[in-house]
């Protein structure tokens, strides 16, 4: 059974700092991995999706990497801003036939202080 | 383009009652998935519907059921509510099931409180 773990559970940083969020998964046979953002009381917003054949994806100040063999992904946020404060969730799609079924980690709650 | 909409946004029920939640996907999206989010268990997959057929089911009891209509709108039903069913229920849609690189778009959720 696939299990996804995110470390740390919570993180508080001053504005402008570069930071890394970690995600690990137990079964390396994944189809893709996604990073989401969730603001309090709201739904999820997709940030980056990495296919199993890819090593990284970038969008603006965000960069996500994937090391399938070691079962790890990292989300790098450059020059953090107070607006980045949210919970960041990592999710894996186990296999191509799993359709829309995602397995989520517990999330990292990020606070960026002005 | 309108996003995924869920109704109602908030709901209070008592134990033993049943509840129906509704999800309207983004126009043109045919796949709808449901997730339950709780502080203790995190986000857990409930089921997925595509072309009015359930394609995937998570590890939830039979009290949780769903359906999809011909216009891709979906409903989920929980019968004989228990306190532990209190959660944020999220719906997500995407255009197709197998397209490489396609992401899911999530709605704002329905927060259910069971008393």
The pLDDT assigned to A95 comes to 74
CB proximity B107 to A under 8 Å: yes
B54-113 confidence digits (pLDDT tens):
988 999 999 999 999 999 999 999 999 999 999 999 999 998 766 666 788 999 999 999
CA dist list (Å): B94 to A91, A100, B97, B105: 16, 8, 7, 6
Instruction: Calculate how close chain A gets to B50, using CA atoms only, in Å.
Output: 9
% of chain A surpassing 90 pLDDT: 79
Residue A90 pLDDT exceeds 70: yes
The pLDDT assigned to A97 comes to 65
Mutation target for B interface from A100, A101, A108: give the one with most B CBs within 10 A: A100
The pLDDT assigned to B40 comes to 85
Residue A94 pLDDT exceeds 90: no
Q: Which residue of B has its CA nearest to A90?
A: B43
Tokens representing B40?
């203790």
Average pLDDT over residues A66-78: 96
Mutation target for A interface from B31, B42, B46, B97: give the one with most A CBs within 10 A: B42
CA within 13 Å, CB half, B70: 0
The pLDDT assigned to B103 comes to 82
Average pLDDT over residues B12-26: 97
Q: Which of B83, B87, B109, B82 is nearest to B38 (CA)?
A: B87
Which residues are registered as beta bridge partners of B84? none
Of the candidates A51, A98, A104, which has its C-beta nearest B43's C-beta?
A104
Residue A108 pLDDT exceeds 70: yes
Instruction: Calculate how close chain A gets to B48, using CA atoms only, in Å.
Output: 7
**Count of C-beta atoms within a 10 Å radius of residue A36:** 25
Spatial CB neighbours of A92, under 8 Å, sequence gap ≥ 6: A2, A4, A25, A30, A31, A32, A33, A34, A102, A103
**pLDDT averaged over chain A?**
93
A16-67 confidence digits (pLDDT tens):
999 999 999 999 888 899 999 999 878 899 999 999 999 999 999 999 999 9
Average pLDDT over residues B5-34: 96
Residue A96 pLDDT exceeds 70: no
The pLDDT assigned to B1 comes to 67
The verdict on a CB contact (< 8 Å) between B104 and A46 is: yes
Of the candidates A96, A103, A107, which has its C-beta nearest B98's C-beta?
A96
């Amino acid at each position: 059974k696939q299990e996804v773990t995110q470390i740390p559970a919570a993180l508080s940083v001053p504005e402008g700092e570069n930071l890394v969020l970690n995600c690990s998964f137990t079964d390396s046979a994944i189809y893709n991995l996604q990073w989401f953002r969730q603001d309090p009381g709201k739904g999820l917003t997709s940030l980056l999706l990495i296919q199993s054949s890819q090593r990284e994806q970038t969008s603006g100040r965000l960069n996500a990497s994937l090391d399938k063999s070691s079962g790890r992904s990292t989300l790098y946020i450059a020059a953090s801003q107070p607006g980045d404060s949210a919970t960041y969730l990592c999710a894996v799609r186990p296999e191509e036939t799993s359709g829309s079924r995602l397995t989520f980690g517990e999330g990292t709650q990020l606070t960026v202080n002005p | 383009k309108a996003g995924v909409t869920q109704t109602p946004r908030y709901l209070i029920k008592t134990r033993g009652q049943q509840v129906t939640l509704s999800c309207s996907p983004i126009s043109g999206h045919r796949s709808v998935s449901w997730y339950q989010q709780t502080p203790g268990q995190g986000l857990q997959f409930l089921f997925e519907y595509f072309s009015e057929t359930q394609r995937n089911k998570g590890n939830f009891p039979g009290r949780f059921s769903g359906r999809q209509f011909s216009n891709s709108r979906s409903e989920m039903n929980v019968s004989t509510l228990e306190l532990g069913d209190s959660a944020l229920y999220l719906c997500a849609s995407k255009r197709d099931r197998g397209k490489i690189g396609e992401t899911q778009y999530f709605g704002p959720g329905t927060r259910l409180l069971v008393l």
